[in-house]
Structure 1
Amino acid sequence: MILKALEISTMGVNCYIVGCEETKEVAVIDPGGNPRGIVRVLEEEGYKAVCIINTHGHIDHIGGNQGVKDATGAKILIHEADAKMLTNSVSNFSFLMGSKVTSPPADQFIKDGDIIKIGNTVELEVIHTPGHSPGGVCLKTGNTIFVGDTLFQMSIGRTDFPGGSYRELINSIKEKLLCYDDEVICYPGHGPATTIGFERENNPFL
Structure 2
Amino acid sequence: MLEDDFTYVVRKALKGLALSPGEAALRAGLVPAEVTALIDGRFSGSVARKLAPALGLDPAALEGHPGYAPKPQLLHTLRRLDIPFEDGQVNAWLLREDDVTLLFDTGFSPDSCARALDAVQAFEIDATFITHGHRDHTGGLPEIRKRSREIYGPAHDSLPGVKPLRPGDSIRTGALTIHAFDLAGHCAGALGYRIEGLTRPVCVVGDALFAGSIGGCTGPDTYATALNNLREGVMNLPDRTLLLPGHGPATTAGEERKGNPFLA
TM-score by length of 2: 0.62
* Alignment match of 1:65 (pick from 126, 141, 145): 141
Aligned to 1:110: 165
RMSD (Å) for aligned C-alpha atoms: 2.1
Are 1:50 and 2:126 matched, yes or no? Answer: yes
1:16 to 70, 93, 113: 93
- The answer for unaligned runs of 5 or more in structure 2 is 1-74
Q: Which runs of 4+ in 1 moved over 3 A?
A: 8-11
2:187 aligned partner? 133
Answer whether contact 1:68 1:74 (CA < 8 A) is retained.
Answer: no
Among 208, 211, 217, which residue is 1:150 paired with?
208
> Which structure has the greater CA radius of gyration?
2
**CA–CA distance in 1 between the matches of 2:105 and 2:232?**
24
Q: Work out whether residues 3 and 17 of structure 1, in 8 Å CA contact, stay in contact via their aligned partners in 2.
A: yes
| Matched position secondary structure for 1:67 | helix
Distance 1:147 1:28 in 2: 13
* Higher RCO structure (Cα 8 Å, ≥6 apart): 2
> TM-score when scaled to structure 1?
0.78
CA distance in 2, matches of 1:8, 1:154: 21
2:217 corresponds in structure 1 to 159
Structure 1 residues 76-102: Cα deviation after superposition (integer angstroms, max 9, x where no partner): 21111122xx4xxxxxxxxxxxxxxxx
Q: 1:20 Cα deviation (Å)?
A: 2.9
Deviation at 1:9, TM superposition (A): 4.9
- What is the CA–CA distance in structure 1 between the aligned matches of 2:93 and 2:205, rounded to whole Å? 11
Please give the alpha-carbon distance, in whole angstroms, between the structure 1 residues aligned to 2:95 and 2:82: 15
Determine the structure 2 residue equivalent to 1:92. none
- Cα contact 1:28–1:51 (8 A) shared by 2: yes
Query: Contact (CA 8 Å) 1:19, 1:122: kept in 2 or not?
Result: no
Sequence identity, in percent? 29
Q: Deviations over 1:114-138 (max 9, x none)?
A: 22223x2222111121111121111
Q: Secondary structure at the match of 1:165?
A: helix
2:72 alignment counterpart: none
In 1, Cα distance between equivalents of 2:246 and 2:162: 22
Structure 1 residues 35 and 202: CA distance shift in structure 2, 3 A: closer
The equivalent of 1:192 in structure 2 is 249
